[in-house]
Amino acid sequence: MTPDSGLSAALLQISQHAERIGGLDTREADHFRHLEATLTGMSDTVTGLRGTVDGHGEILASLDGLGEDVAAIAGQVASLLPPNPGPGYQPIPAVQWWNCTPQERDKAVTRLRAWVEQVYRPFYGHLAAMLGTCWEEHPLCLVDLDWLSELHSVLYFQPVRSASLLSAQAEFGTRIMPAIAEQFRAETTRCSHRQAPASSSSWAGAR
């Protein structure tokens, strides 16, 4: 190998190393820029989170004492309400007349008979007079008297009478009772049953 060829080879290697170094510098510069951009983004995120936390702190500060305010308002509302009278009358299950045994039917009819004699006939005058004495032989009367007697108990066996309950009682007496009495009249005044007085029983102990 001549001196010139050796020198050329050395220069070539130096040039190649310089290119590699230049490539490394470029790559590291790219990495640095990427890292710088990432750090900048993280800084912006942290700044935003700090602002959010500060805002939450202001909200929490504004809620301080809210529980006491709510409790005070609840106390004021409670003072305006009537005392809790406890549970009132609860209706019994509906009678399934189509599925009754003879014993179950007799028990249900005894209860209704007691209500008719102790409540309906004494207190509903000409409306009650529309119910024929043979009502026990009419399924329509049994079905209607079942819910009618329970509705009456719900309306009148309550420890406290509110304005809404008073309104319901008025509707019961002026709309529901006349309408059902007319149904009883139509059902029991044109039938072939013997119109005989029903036997007496105590309504208070019939249930």
DSSP symbols for 120-155: IHHHSHHHHHTS-TTGGG-HHHHHHHHHHHHHHHHH
pLDDT at 23: 63
Q: Which residue has the higher pLDDT, 64 or 197?
A: 64
Q: Which residue has the higher pLDDT, 143 or 198?
A: 143
pLDDT tens sequence across 159-200: 999 999 999 999 999 999 999 999 999 999 988 875 544 444
Quick one: average pLDDT of 1-12?
61
pLDDT at 85: 59
First to last CA, the chain: 129
Q: Cα dist. 79→48, 72, 82 in Å? A: 48, 11, 8
Quick one: average pLDDT of 4-22?
63
How far apart are alpha carbons 126 and 124 in whole angstroms?
Answer: 6
Check pLDDT > 90 for residue 28. Answer: no
How far apart are alpha carbons 161 and 168 in whole angstroms?
Answer: 10
pTM of the prediction? 0.56
Q: Which residue has the higher pLDDT, 159 or 67?
A: 159
Quick one: average pLDDT of 86-90?
81
pLDDT at 178: 96
pLDDT at 205: 36
User: Which of 139, 145, 148 has its CA nearest to residue 99?
Assistant: 139
Residues contacting 94, CB < 8 A, separation 6+: 146, 147
Quick one: average pLDDT of 108-129?
97
CA–centroid distance for 137 within its chain: 42
Quick one: average pLDDT of 135-141?
96
What value does the mean pLDDT of the chain take? 78
pLDDT at 59: 61
